[in-house]
């Protein structure tokens, strides 16, 4: 496998809302997934988020994936991610839904996993931030066991399952590729030690810093004790992407949305530290620096110069994407609509990538 390009979606719904805002957002995403499939994008990924108004209205990705599976032929369909701490999703239900999707899409499902990092979501579901890493790990072990064991049983700290047959089993054997999302350097090491594919969700991080984090992941992979039945040694990195016929048009289309998403992401993750003020943050220690980050100095030119975003004409996008490949990245997760880029402009960006950028890496 060479360098791949995946379409990545939060499914934002910008205000002001009207009666069909969410309807249009979802149907635009399905149409773009179909076009991406035709144009050579390797993956279609979405988040699972809850309660994050405007930022992400993608709370039930498994439903969307069924529609995308029915209308596409080649593109892999990735949870980016399925939230595993209970009660977001019970791991038996996550295993059932994942296996059903893998069957429906002819074995194209990829199972990205994560634990979330916002106050709105963790507090909304009554989840203790100090327990999410343990909850994630045990839940993933249950999912893998349910997929690969005829009669499955489990007696753990968080989950107890008497002997049961879990149906259906995934089409891919022994199971679909498994990934882990992380936003912290420490998480990159955890991911490598677990032998999982890396989904590096770092906002505003230039390729030089990404190279360091992927290096942490690759070093940890050398000593991996894979949680799954096989290691998935691939690293995918997230960035905001918009391609247009000219650099000026690309900036005109994307500047406001890029800055909105960048600042809102920092605020959302920093909210966890603010919520836990005076308490230990444990594996969320990295959120403390974001809580007090002064965002005034960040503008489009700074993010562009750092190559922390890919916005421009096809040639500029090719040059910037090369920096991500040089950083050790195997797949670029392209967030084509950070907030309010019009659907026709997003579709044109996807087409220009398919016509010009993706062929440059074959």
Query: Which domain, by its residues, includes 228?
Result: 4-361
Q: What is the pTM of this model?
A: 0.97
Residue from 104, 14, 12 nearest 49 by CA: 12
The candidate with the shortest Cα–Cα distance to 220, out of 200, 197, 198, 190, is: 190
Which 8-state DSSP code applies to residue 334? E
Short-list 234, 122, 115, 136, CA closest to 184: 115
Q: Which residues pair with 320 in a beta bridge?
A: none
| Crossing angle of the two packed helices 314-326 and 207-222, in degrees rounded to 10 | 40
Please write the tens of the pLDDT for every residue from 187-227: 999 999 999 999 999 788 899 999 999 999 999 999 999 99
Find out whether 242 and 334 touch, Cβ atoms under 8 Å: no
Under a CB-based contact definition with an 8 Å cutoff, are residues 354 and 32 in contact?
no
* pLDDT top residue among 297 and 145: 145
As beta bridge partners, residue 154 has: 161
Q: What pLDDT band is residue 231 in, cutting at 50, 70 and 90?
A: very high
Give the whole-angstrom CA distance, residue 153 versus residue 166. 10
Domain CATH number, residue 103: 3.20.20.30
State the total domains in the chain: 1
Phi, psi (rounded to 5 degrees) for 181: -90, 145
Residues 6+ apart with CB under 8 A from 276: 129, 284
> Average model confidence (pLDDT) for the chain?
96
In the block, residue with structure tokens 């791991």: 91
Largest CA distance in the chain: 61
Residue 286: pLDDT band (50, 70, 90) is confident
pLDDT at 293: 83
Q: Which residues pair with 78 in a beta bridge?
A: 45, 110
d(CA 314, CA 77): 25
Lowest mean pLDDT among 14-18, 259-263, 272-276: 272-276
* 333 φ, ψ (degrees, to nearest 5): -90, 105
For residues 127-140, average pLDDT: 97
């Amino acid at each position: 496998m060479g360098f791949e390009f995946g379409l990545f979606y939060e499914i934002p719904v910008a205000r002001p809302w009207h009666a069909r805002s969410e309807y249009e957002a979802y149907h635009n995403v399905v149409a773009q997934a179909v076009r991406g499939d035709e144009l050579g994008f390797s993956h279609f990924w979405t988040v699972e988020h809850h309660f994050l108004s405007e930022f992400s209205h993608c709370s039930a990705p498994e439903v969307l994936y069924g529609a995308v599976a029915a209308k596409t032929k080649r593109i892999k369909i990735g949870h980016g991610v399925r939230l595993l701490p209970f009660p977001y999703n019970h791991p038996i239900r996550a295993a059932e839904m994942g296996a059903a999707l893998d069957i429906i899409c002819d074995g194209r499902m990829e199972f990205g996993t994560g634990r979330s990092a916002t106050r709105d979501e963790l507090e909304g579901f009554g989840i203790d931030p100090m327990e999410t890493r343990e909850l994630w790990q045990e839940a993933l072990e249950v999912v893998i066991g349910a997929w690969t064991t005829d009669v499955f049983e489990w007696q753990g700290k968080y989950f107890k399952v008497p002997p049961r047959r879990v149906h259906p089993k995934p089409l891919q054997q022994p199971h679909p590729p498994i990934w882990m999302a992380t936003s912290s350097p420490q998480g990159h090491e955890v991911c490598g030690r677990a032998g999982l594919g890396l989904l590096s969700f770092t906002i505003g991080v230039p390729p030089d810093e990404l190279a360091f984090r992927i290096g942490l992941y690759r070093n940890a992979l050398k000593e991996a004790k894979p949680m799954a039945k096989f290691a998935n040694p691939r690293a995918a990195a997230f960035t905001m992407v918009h391609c247009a016929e000219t650099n000026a048009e690309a900036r005109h289309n994307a500047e406001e949305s890029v800055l909105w998403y960048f600042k809102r992401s920092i605020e959302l993750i920093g909210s966890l530290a603010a919520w836990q003020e005076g308490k230990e943050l444990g594996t969320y220690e990295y959120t403390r620096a974001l809580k007090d980050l002064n965002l005034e100095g960040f503008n489009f030119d700074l993010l562009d110069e750092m190559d922390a975003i890919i916005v421009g004409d096809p040639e500029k996008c090719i040059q910037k994407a090369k920096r991500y490949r040089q950083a050790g990245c195997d797949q670029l997760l392209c967030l084509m609509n950070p907030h309010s880029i019009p659907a026709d402009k997003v579709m044109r960006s996807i087409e220009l990538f398919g016509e010009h950028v993706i062929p440059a890496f074959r």
